[in-house]
Chain A
């Protein structure tokens, strides 16, 4: 299973690793090591909207 990061990049190709970086990034992805996988913990990007679950699934990744 591909990472949530790859699904988001497929939806928004302009995003880079820097957008997810601690302190300077505006998006935080989290995995709680509880078997439930990655999730979007916070999304504060100034222009791009947080993708919906449907959009993530539609990437086919």
Chain B
């Protein structure tokens, strides 16, 4: 074993002289140290990131999930209702946590509803969703929704002068990494409306802080 290698307990070898970098301890989420010390760190091969034990939980430092998706298919918006927006094409999805299909699928062991993001790393995430309404509603809201109805973030919009308002909402949510998911919805108070299709209308999210 190279002298510079950090052993499986996460403790560095004081006799090692780095020759190309130290090797950090590695483990899977299921195989984390059973009795970690505060400050113990290692590389989690389950999601591909470095994490440190903060005394009560594993805090992700690098490798947290991030995704971005845009709209190839427009969404027919129900009257006086929230309709889940169809962001069906990915720009990127680092950890395979975004479901860009119209059916519920299991991603990383998490049941993930249609057009939803279900990260496999717990922490605080920043989200943004943008879109454009085709139609003439007088009341429109774009919403980022956690789970079925746990927590919402509402955003407002502005009209470009031709009854096609552009909307954006952004905010942070805590997600548990085991069952929580997030989707984007749009409310309109008129019939005959739809969301637009464009590569510039996106639903995005990224881990910004571990637990």
Point out residues on A near B: beta carbons under 8 Å. 3-6, 17, 20-23, 28-35, 38, 41-42
Contacts and interface: CB of A to CB of B under 8 A. Distances in A.
10 contacts: A3-B78, A4-B78, A17-B189, A22-B154, A23-B154, A28-B81, A29-B81, A33-B75, A33-B85, A38-B78
B149 interface: yes
A21 B139 contact: yes
Contact of B81 (A23, A31, A35): A31
Contacts of B207: none
A21 B114 CA distance: 24
Contacts, number: 69
A22 B114 contact: no
A22 B79 contact: no
A42 B189 contact: no
Contacts of B113: 32, 34
A30 B82 contact: yes
A31 B191 contact: no
A3 B79 CA distance: 7
B84 A33 contact: yes
Nearest to A30: B82
B51 interface: no
A3 B80 CA distance: 9
Interface of B: 75, 78-86, 102-104, 113-115, 139, 141, 143, 148-149, 154, 185, 187, 189, 191
Nearest to B141: A22
Contacts of B102: 33-35
Contact of A33 (B79, B115, B191): B115
Interface pairs A-B: 4 shortest CB-CB = A29-B81, A20-B80, A5-B80, A31-B83
A3 B81 CA distance: 9
Contacts of A31: 78, 81-84
A20 B137 CA distance: 14
Given A3-B78, A4-B78, 18 more contacts: A3-B191, A20-B81, A20-B189, A21-B189, A22-B139, A22-B141, A22-B143, A23-B154, A28-B81, A28-B82, A29-B78, A29-B80, A32-B114, A33-B115, A34-B114, A38-B78, A41-B82, A42-B149
Given A3-B191, A22-B187, A38 B154 contact: no
A32 B22 CA distance: 48
Given A22-B141, A41-B149, A30 B81 contact: yes
B103 to A, nearest CB: 7
